[in-house]
Structure 1
Amino acid sequence: MTWELAAAVSRGFLFALAAILPILNPAATAPIFLSLTEGASDDTRALLARRIARNMVLLMLGSMLVGSYVLDFFGISLAIVRVGGGLIVASAAWRLLTVTPATVDNRVELAEAFSPEQASRQAFYPLTFPISCGPGSIAAAITVGVSLPDPVVAISLARIGGGVLALGACGVLMYFAFRYAQQLLRPLGEAGTMVFLRLAAFILLCLGVQIVWDGVQELLSSVIHPIVAQGGPVEALAR
Structure 2
Amino acid sequence: MHELLTYALTVFLSFFAVMNPIANTPIFLGVVGDKTKEDKKHIAKKSTFTAFLIVVVFVIAGKYIFQLFGITIPAFKITGGVLLFYVGFEMLMSKKSKISTNQTEENSDSIAVSPLAIPILAGPGTIVTAMNQVTNAGYEKIAIVVVVFGVMIFLTYLAFVLSDRILEKLGGNLIAVIGKIMGLILAIIGTDMLMDGIKLSFNL
Taking structure 1 as the reference length, the TM-score comes to 0.58
Partner-residue secondary structure (3-state), 2:35: coil
1:95–1:23 distance in 2 versus 1, CA, 3 Å = closer
Counterpart among 158, 166, 188 of residue 184 in structure 1 = 166
* Residue aligning to 2:147: 165
1:47–1:174 distance in 2 versus 1, CA, 3 Å = same
Retained in 1: the 8 A contact 2:83–2:125? yes
Counterpart among 99, 106, 120 of residue 131 in structure 1 = 120
Partner-residue secondary structure (3-state), 1:125: helix
- The one-letter amino acid of 1:159's match is K
Q: CA deviation at 1:95?
A: 5.1
In the alignment, structure 1 residue 174 sits paired with structure 2 residue 156: yes
* Residue aligning to 1:94: 98
1:95–1:14 distance in 2 versus 1, CA, 3 Å = closer
Q: CA deviation at 1:178?
A: 0.8
Retained in 2: the 8 A contact 1:13–1:164? no
Retained in 1: the 8 A contact 2:28–2:160? yes
Structure 2 distance, partners of 1:167, 1:135, is 15
Retained in 2: the 8 A contact 1:19–1:144? no
Partner-residue secondary structure (3-state), 2:113: coil
- The number of aligned residues is 177
In the alignment, structure 1 residue 67 sits paired with structure 2 residue 62: yes
Partner-residue secondary structure (3-state), 2:33: coil
Structure with greater Cα Rg: 1
List gaps (5 residues or longer) in structure 1: 1-5, 103-109, 150-156, 227-239
Structure 1 distance, partners of 2:36, 2:50, is 21
Retained in 2: the 8 A contact 1:60–1:138? yes
Structure 1 distance, partners of 2:54, 2:158, is 19
Structure 2 distance, partners of 1:13, 1:95, is 31
Q: CA deviation at 1:11?
A: 5.1
Taking structure 2 as the reference length, the TM-score comes to 0.66
In the alignment, structure 1 residue 142 sits paired with structure 2 residue 131: yes
Counterpart among 8, 20, 35 of residue 13 in structure 1 = 8
Q: CA deviation at 1:126?
A: 1.3
1:187–1:158 distance in 2 versus 1, CA, 3 Å = closer
Q: CA deviation at 1:53?
A: 1.5
* Residue aligning to 1:42: 37
Structure 1 distance, partners of 2:99, 2:51, is 22
Q: CA deviation at 1:137?
A: 1.1
Counterpart among 43, 46, 55 of residue 51 in structure 1 = 46
* Residue aligning to 1:154: none
Retained in 1: the 8 A contact 2:130–2:145? no
- Provide Cα deviations, 1:47-94, integer angstroms capped at 9, x if missing partner: 1111121112212211212124314413466438949x97xx999823
Structure 1 distance, partners of 2:128, 2:60, is 12
Structure 2 distance, partners of 1:145, 1:74, is 17
